[in-house]
Structure 1
Amino acid sequence: MLIFPLLDDQSRKIIHIDMDAFFAAVEERDNPALRGKPVVIARDPRVTGGRGVVSTANYEARRFGIHSAMSAKEAYERCPQAIFIQGDYAKYKAIGLEVREIFRRYTDLIEPMSIDEAYLDVTENKIGSQSAVKVARLIQEDIWRELQLTCSAGISYNKFLAKLASDFQKPRGLTVIKPGEALDFLAPLPIEKFHGVGKKSAERLRQMGVETGADLLEVSEIELIDRFGRFGYDLYRRARGIHNAPVKPNRIRKSFGKEKTYGKFLRQEADVRKELQGLAQQLATNLEREDVQGKTVVLKIRWEDFQTLTKRVSLDRSVFQEADLLEQALALYESIEEKDKAIRLLGITLTNLGKEREEDLLDNPEEKETADHEAL
Structure 2
Amino acid sequence: MNVLITGGAGFIGGNFVQYMVNNYPDYDIYNLDLLTYAGDLTKHKEIEDKENYHFIKADIADRENILTLFKEKKFDYVVHFAAESHVDRSITDSEIFIRSNVLGTQVLLDASKEINVKKFVHISTDEVYGELDFDPSTFFTEETPLQPNSPYSASKASSDLLVRAYHETYGLPINITRCSNNYGPYHFPEKLIPLTISRVLNDEKVPVYGDGKNIRDWLHVDDHCSAIDLVMHKGVDGEVYNVGGHNEKTNLEVVQTIIKTLDKSEDLIEFVKDRLGHDKRYAINPTKLENLGWQPKYDFDTGIEQTIQWYLDNKQWWEKIIDGEYRKYFEKHYEI
- Indicate whether the TM-score tops 0.5: no
Question: Normalized per residue, which structure has more helix?
Answer: 2
Normalized against structure 1, the TM-score is what?
0.28
Between Structure 1 and Structure 2, whose CA radius of gyration is higher? 1
